[in-house]
A = this chain, B = another copy of it.
Amino acid sequence: MATGEPLAILAGGGELPGMVAAAAVAAGRPVLILAVAGEADPVDPKFRSERVSWGQIGRAVALMREHGATDVVLAGAIGRRPDYSKIRLDWMAVKSLPKLLSLVRGGDDQVLVGVIKFIESLGFRVIGPHEVARGLVAEPGSLTRREPSASDLADIEAASSAALAIGRLDAGQGAVSVAERVIAMEGLEGTDAMLKRVRDLRESGRLERDGRSGVIAKWSKPQQDLRVDMPTIGPRTVAAAADAGLAGIAIEAGRVMLVDRAATVRAADEAGLFIVARTLPPGRGM
């Protein structure tokens, strides 16, 4: 029986909304998924769901209130920019228009912060997917059969320090260290493209290739709002790290999301990689 606090999930694309819903139901929370038209994947019929369009703010709010939800999770990818010419505004959307337009003027980060503020101004509380589904993030420790060696630990430290430093610059979240030297840092190109670069450096002989060595570290930015924008790793990250000849993956405990944790850990075990979660890079204070 679902007797916990009701939860609304505003769902974009991908598997995350379903994972959050399953975790919430398992924790006894009644779930309502608001699937954003044109973005959300089909919703498993075992969850209560409604389709909402951009512009149906009044309807979305009414549905959430009727469900008794105070907590809202924004989950999944919003890939397409809405086609503004096709948006039909309901009355509440019209009333909110000046506020909404002022939000859209900022950069992407500001828009998200603005959207959260707007939702909270309506009396809801926006929480992060990982606050509902604790399994989405890792506790400190090793997740895999393989454990880091002493030289891996040195690479974990170097890569984590670099990932933290570029995160402070708001420039990126990931870095790769091989033989205690930082050799790649992730910018706008993303984690997979950075790992492909490392693979190319191995193949061209500019980076040693004797067995698996080196670590990719992924850390959140200190200023990152984890409710709407979490760094993630998943089976694809494991495959790219293996292709790059790395020995393992280090993530920030509690603040980096494991997309499909079971499949991610299985892929790492099969490839012989480690995944470890850390709260702080060794040897560094906060």
A182-219 at interface with B (beta carbon < 8 Å): 182-185, 187-189, 193, 197, 200-201, 206-207
In the complex, are the beta carbons of A184 and B181 less than 8 A apart? no
Interface residue? A126 (CB, 8 A): no
Picked from B158, B166, B181, B206, the residue with its CB within 8 Å of the CB of A185 is: B166
In the A-B complex, list the 7 residue pairs whose CB atoms are closest, starting with the nearest. Answer: A171-B182, A183-B188, A185-B185, A184-B187, A183-B187, A162-B169, A165-B165
In the complex, are the beta carbons of A184 and B189 less than 8 A apart? yes
In the complex, are the beta carbons of A189 and B182 less than 8 A apart? no
Interface residue? A161 (CB, 8 A): yes
Chain A binding surface SS class? mixed
- Give Cα A183 to B158, complex, Å: 21
- Give Cα A200 to B193, complex, Å: 11
- Give Cα A107 to B165, complex, Å: 24
- Give Cα A206 to B79, complex, Å: 12
- When C-beta atoms are compared, the residue in chain B nearest to A172 turns out to be B185
- Give Cα A175 to B187, complex, Å: 10
Copies of this chain, count:
2
- Give Cα A114 to B185, complex, Å: 29
Q: Cβ of A176: which chain B residues have Cβ within 8 Å of it?
A: 187
Given contacts A162-B166, A166-B165, A189-B197, contact A175 B171 (CB under 8 A): yes
Known: A171-B175, A188-B206, A193-B197; 10 extra A-B contacts, CB below 8 A, are: A162-B166, A165-B166, A170-B181, A176-B187, A183-B188, A184-B187, A184-B189, A185-B187, A188-B207, A189-B200
- When C-beta atoms are compared, the residue in chain B nearest to A188 turns out to be B183
Q: Cβ of A107: which chain B residues have Cβ within 8 Å of it?
A: 181
Q: Cβ of A168: which chain B residues have Cβ within 8 Å of it?
A: 165
Q: List 8 A-B contacts (CB under 8 A).
A: A170-B181, A171-B182, A182-B187, A183-B187, A184-B188, A188-B207, A189-B197, A193-B197
* Minimum C-beta distance from A240 to chain B (A): 16
Q: Cβ of A187: which chain B residues have Cβ within 8 Å of it?
A: 176, 182-185, 197
